[in-house]
Amino acid sequence: MRSGPVVAVLTLCTALRLPAQAPAPQSFSTTPKLTGYLQPRFQTLGDTASFFLRRARFAVEGNITPWAAYRAQVEMRTLGAAATPAASPLTLSATDLFIRLTHRRWGGTVGQFRVPFALESLLGSTTLETSERSRIVNAAKRDIGVQADWTVAGRLVLQAALVDGEGPNRTTSTNPDNRMAYFARAVVTPVKGLDIGGAFEGYSDSSGANVQSVYRAARWTARAEYIDEHNRRTPVHTRGWYGLAGYYAIPQRVELVGRVEQFDPSDRVATDRSTGYLIGLQYFMRGDNFKILADYEVFREQTVQVSNNRGVVQMQVRW
C-alpha cells in the first residue's frame, strides 16, 4: 500500500501552510506584593535580661516588566540607631531600595542594596541558623550604587559593585570624600551542593579580602568564612573567621546548630582577640515562615574575661 507516503506528504504540506508558533511568553504580574517579617526576642546578655523587638520589616515589591523589578523595604526596631522621633525608643530606617534588571545570565541592580562581599551578610536574617551573625561579619552591609552580575546556574556566580562607600540611608545627596568603594565576588560550584568563593572590597582608606565556602546536603549544612580587613591609615588588620554546622535531627522540623568563631579587632593589640562557642536549635512550625530559634553563645577573651555570654529565644513570623 502507498497510503503511508501520501499521508506523509499531505501532513508536510499542511505544516508548511501553518504559521510558525512563537514560544508562549512567561506570565508575570505588575500587582505589588506586600512582604515582611517580625522577630520578637527574649535575650540574656551577661547578667541582664530583656524582651525586645529584634526586627520588624515591611516591604513592597513587584515587577514592572518581565525583566525589571523593584523592592522597597523599611525596618522598625527597638534597638540600634538613634530613635525616630527622638522621644521614642522605636527606630525607623530603609534597608532595600532598588530596581533589579535581568537578561538571561546577566543582572543589574541600581539603588540601595547589600554589597557582594561576606556570604553571611548576603544571607537574609529570616534564613540564618543563628540569632546573630558572626562578629567579623556583624551585619548585612548595604550601600547606594550599582551592581552587575553574571550567573551560570549551578556552576558560577560573578558579582561586581560600585557604590558611594558611605553606607545606607544617608541624609545628604553628596559623597563627602568624593571617592567610590568597589566590591567583587566570585563563587564556583565544583560539585553539587558545594560552593567555594572569594570576595574583595576597596574603600578610600581601607580594603578587605574574604574566603568563603558552604556545603548543603539533604540534612546537613556547613559554612565557613575568613575575612581580613586592612586600614591603610593606621595600619591595622582586623581579622576573623567562623565555622558553622547545622543538622536536621527531625527533617523539616528540628535543626541542631553549632558554631565556632574568632574575632581579632586589631593585629597591633596582643590581648583583644575573642573566641565564641555557640550551640542552638531551630524548631520549624511552618518552615522559615513560622519558627522558634534558641541559641546560647559563650565568649572567651584572650586575657580579661568579660560577662558577655549571650542567650536568645526568638520567634519569627514571615509572610
The per-residue pLDDT for range 113-138, each reduced to its tens digit, is 999 999 999 999 999 999 999 999 98
Residue 207 · residue 234 · CB < 8 Å = no
Q: Which residues of 180-206 are buried (b: 16+ CB within 10 A; e: fewer)?
A: bbbbebbbebeeeeebebebbbebeeb
This prediction's pTM: 0.85
Locate all alpha helices (DSSP H) within the chain, ordered by sequence.
3-17, 119-122
The per-residue pLDDT for range 231-248, each reduced to its tens digit, is 999 999 999 999 999 999
Q: What is the pLDDT of residue 139?
A: 84
Q: Enter the C-alpha cell of residue 271.
A: 590581648
Superfamily of domain 39-318: Porin (2.40.160.10)
d(CA 90, CA 75): 10
Q: Enter the C-alpha cell of residue 280.
A: 542552638
- Return the amino acid letter for 14: T
- Return the amino acid letter for 85: P
Cα dist. 88→44, 51, 54, 77 in Å?
23, 17, 16, 11
Show the low-confidence residues of the chain (pLDDT under 50). Answer: 1-25, 81, 83-84
Residue 118 · residue 141 · CB < 8 Å = yes
d(CA 155, CA 227): 24
Q: What is the pLDDT of residue 170?
A: 77
